[in-house]
Amino acid sequence: MKYHGFPFAVLVSVLVTALGISLFTVDRLSRQLLLIGTECRHLQLQLEQVKSERDTLVGLVRAFSGRCDSLEDLKWKLDSLAAYASMMELRSNYVGYYLLIDTYQNRFHLRRRLWNGTELLVRSGYCATGKGWTANDSGRVWNFSTPRGLRYVVKKDEKPYWYRPDWFWEEMDMVPPEPDEFIAIPDTLTWEEQIAFYNDSLDAAQRLLVKKVPGALGSYKLDLGGGILIHYGVGLGRNVSHGCIRIGKSDLEALYRVLPVGAPVVIY
């Protein structure tokens, strides 16, 4: 009996030991799971806090963006109001031809005030004005807005040239040519012959290397100072220029003939 009971006792002892180890392991795993659950809840709270902060930041960005837009709109209105005040002052004491440029509707209005106070609308039509903030693919930014306010015709020229600035190439993500890379159109040619040479004798790549371009501004230009010109161009009725005021061929000639140097130009 003792001989046969010995293995049974050993077996019971082994089972009890195994059961104890299992219970200990289960308890340890339970504690680990409880700890992991606590850490998960803590991480969830952190994630919710981060999400709340992100939403708050997004709201602040939107608020600041809206405020910036409002400030830009307010600046536009203030500039236009100042231009309107200049226009009203002109109408009260100026005699002669003057020009109004509406950058919102992209229209021009040539007016004349007589000695007796009579106001005449001489000519009206579409023009193109600045396209505002512009960026190239590399992130370079320019403000090509047409400045609003009162200006004067400081100079007039026939058969003008356009001298390409560096931003002409940079806006297209190109490197401006070196001085020795420029192609010069022969000065021995007349202005009309230079236009024909530019259009017919040079290919598209070569034309990009011409800095002094004949005919690009039309047959006339009126200089308002600060790099702002009234000249021929396309895109009339839209905000597409680099700050200058583009106008049609016949309208440009009419303005050139009528407006003297010193004539006021109100841009609003």
The structure tokens listed for 187 are 């000065």
**What number of other Cβ atoms are within 10 A of residue 125's Cβ?**
16
The H-or-E segment that residue 41 falls in is helix 2-93
Give residue 184's identity as a one-letter amino acid code. A
Q: What's the pLDDT at 45?
A: 76
Cβ 144 vs Cβ 103: under 8 Å = no
The pLDDT of residue 44 is 76
Contact 209, 222 (CB under 8 A): no
Architecture of domain 95-267: Beta Barrel (2.40)
CB 116 within 8 A of CB 223: no
Residue extents of the structural domains in the chain: 1-93, 95-267
Tokens standing for residue 252: 């440009």
DSSP state of 179: G
Q: Is 227 left (phi over 0), alpha (psi -120 to 50) or beta?
A: left
Q: Specify the long-range contacts of residues 218-221, CB closer than 8 Å, at least 24 apart.
A: 218/160, 218/249, 218/252, 219/158, 219/159, 219/249, 219/252, 219/253, 220/156, 220/157, 220/158, 220/160, 220/252, 220/253, 220/256, 221/156, 221/157, 221/160
Pairing of strands 96-102, 264-267: parallel
Find, among 135, 205, 147, the residue nearest to 172 by Cα.
Answer: 135
Q: What is the pLDDT of residue 117?
A: 86
* CA 114/CA 92 separation, integer angstroms: 11
Q: What is the DSSP letter of 94?
A: -
What pLDDT score does 143 carry?
95
Specify whether the CB–CB gap between 119 and 91 falls below 8 A: yes
What's the pLDDT score for residue 203? 97
Question: What pTM was computed for the model?
Answer: 0.70
Tens digit of each residue's pLDDT, the chain (268 residues): 444 555 666 666 766 676 667 666 766 777 777 777 777 777 777 777 766 666 666 665 565 555 555 666 666 667 767 776 777 777 778 899 999 999 999 999 999 999 998 999 999 999 999 999 999 999 999 999 999 999 999 999 999 999 999 999 999 999 999 999 999 999 999 999 999 999 999 999 999 999 999 999 999 999 999 999 999 999 999 999 999 999 999 999 999 999 999 999 999 9
